[in-house]
């Protein structure tokens, strides 16, 4: 019978005249070539297919994130509602927490350490600083641990991972808006009038939210690769709080402090957004701000010696309000841009064990 009916390869019978096929090019695995002679890789390239785990281009990635904006909003809203469901006071803790912090800071810094020197309306000044800084603080803290906290969701579903840090910042922004109602009541209750300057609060908060998103994206990537980061971040933020003028006036610091040091404290991002918010909603802050009146060396010397708020207006400002707005815009745009690119570069590594 010769070779008739002999099984020469899995699934194929050859007669005696058949010979093994050596036409396949070396290096190709069996089954990786179609009947037409076209490889799977070539066919995928022909029809524009790409591996699902491949990182998309930056522009395409941003477009995909924008397409998921409804998911981000829905996720943030659901997260916000469920956050305090087991607490008896519910979402009131979103307001009570910064209020309790403000009360403690008022007792320690305003009463014991006399940090209210040089500030006309210290209550509104302090509460504004605490509420605004808390927005940045919470955004960075949750951003540093968001990827590890949602590892199951990341492994189960395919979506732009940037949606998670952005959603968590949106949660904090929603909480801030609720807190603003209490802040407005306190500011108005302490005698500050309602003026058109209050509309400046809108761009100030938007710029701060942009900065927080960029910072959260940066910390999200760092925290995804190093779990200890989420333990270190709260400590660093507590240190940062003391350098932002939350509980005291940077302008009222001792005159012996070098001018460059005051400039550095004034221009740091948290201090910038706190100052812009105070400028918007506090008439006393605008009236007594350094540079509000023509420079007078004598009256400025009185302020430096006795810290009388009204005389501060006759001193040279470390940073004027126009420069503060430029700094706020710069911090927001630069931090957000760096955060997006830095986070996107590690898109394919999130969720790996």
pLDDT digits (tens, 9 = 90+) for 342-351: 999 999 889 7
Q: Are 280 and 272 in contact (CB under 8 A)?
A: no
Range of the domain at 206: 58-348
Query: Own/partner pairs for 111-120, CB < 8 Å, 24+ apart?
Result: 115/247, 115/248, 117/249, 117/252, 117/307, 118/249, 118/251, 118/252, 118/303, 118/307, 118/308, 118/309, 118/312, 119/248, 119/249, 119/252, 119/309, 120/284, 120/288, 120/309, 120/310
Q: Is residue 34 part of a domain?
A: no
Total of domains in the chain: 1
303 CA to centre of own chain:
37
Exposure string for 113-149, b = 16+ CB within 10 A, e = fewer: eebbebbbbbbbbbbbbbbbbbbbbbbbbbbbbbbbe
Tell me which residue of 223, 75, 44 sits closest to 160, measured CA to CA: 75
pLDDT value of position 80: 79
pLDDT value of position 89: 56
Q: Is residue 115 part of a domain?
A: yes
pLDDT value of position 14: 46
Q: Is residue 135 part of a domain?
A: yes
Helix 163-189 to helix 93-105 angle (10° resolution) is 60
Q: Is residue 30 part of a domain?
A: no
In which residue ranges of the chain is pLDDT below 50?
1-31
Residues 6+ apart with CB under 8 A from 8: 14, 18, 20
pLDDT value of position 67: 94
pLDDT value of position 53: 59
pTM, two decimals, is 0.82
6 DSSP β-pair partners = 14
Tokens 């630069």 — which residue? 334
pLDDT value of position 206: 97
pLDDT value of position 84: 61
Q: Is residue 178 part of a domain?
A: yes
Q: Is residue 36 part of a domain?
A: no
Q: What letter would DSSP give residue 33?
A: B
pLDDT value of position 344: 96
pLDDT value of position 31: 46
Q: Is residue 9 part of a domain?
A: no
Q: Is residue 8 part of a domain?
A: no
Residues 6+ apart with CB under 8 A from 69: none
13 DSSP β-pair partners = 7
Residues 6+ apart with CB under 8 A from 111: none
pLDDT value of position 62: 95
């Amino acid at each position: 019978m010769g070779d008739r009916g002999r099984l020469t390869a899995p699934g194929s019978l050859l007669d005696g005249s058949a010979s093994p096929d050596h036409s396949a090019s070396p290096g190709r695995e069996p089954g990786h070539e179609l009947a037409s002679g076209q490889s799977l890789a070539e066919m995928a390239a022909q029809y524009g297919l790409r591996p699902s785990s491949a990182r998309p281009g930056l522009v395409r990635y941003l477009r995909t994130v924008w397409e998921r904006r409804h998911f981000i909003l829905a996720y943030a809203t659901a997260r916000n509602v469920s956050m305090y469901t087991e607490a008896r006071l519910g979402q009131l803790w979103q307001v009570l927490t910064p209020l309790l912090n403000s009360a403690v800071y008022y007792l320690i810094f305003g009463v014991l350490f006399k940090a209210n020197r040089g500030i006309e309306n210290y209550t509104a000044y302090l509460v504004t600083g605490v509420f605004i800084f808390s927005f940045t603080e919470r955004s960075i803290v949750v951003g540093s641990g968001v990827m590890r906290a949602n590892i199951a969701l990341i492994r189960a579903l395919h979506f732009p991972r940037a949606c998670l840090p952005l959603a968590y910042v949106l949660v904090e922004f929603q909480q801030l808006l609720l807190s603003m109602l209490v802040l407005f009541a306190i500011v108005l209750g302490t005698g500050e009038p309602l003026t058109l300057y209050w509309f400046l609060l809108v761009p100030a908060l938007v710029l701060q939210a942009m900065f927080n998103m960029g910072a959260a994206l940066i910390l999200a990537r760092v925290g995804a690769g190093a779990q200890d980061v989420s333990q270190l971040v709260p400590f660093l933020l507590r240190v940062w709080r003391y350098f932002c003028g939350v509980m005291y006036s940077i302008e009222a610091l001792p005159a012996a402090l070098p001018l460059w040091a005051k400039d550095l404290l004034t221009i740091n991002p948290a201090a910038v957004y706190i100052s812009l918010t105070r400028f918007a909603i506090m008439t006393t802050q605008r009236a007594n701000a350094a540079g509000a009146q023509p420079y007078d060396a004598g009256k400025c010397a009185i302020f430096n010696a006795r810290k009388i708020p009204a005389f501060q207006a006759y001193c040279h400002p470390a940073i004027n309000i126009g420069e503060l707005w430029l700094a706020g815009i710069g911090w927001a745009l630069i931090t957000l841009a760096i955060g997006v690119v830095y986070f996107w570069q590690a898109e394919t590594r999130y969720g790996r064990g």
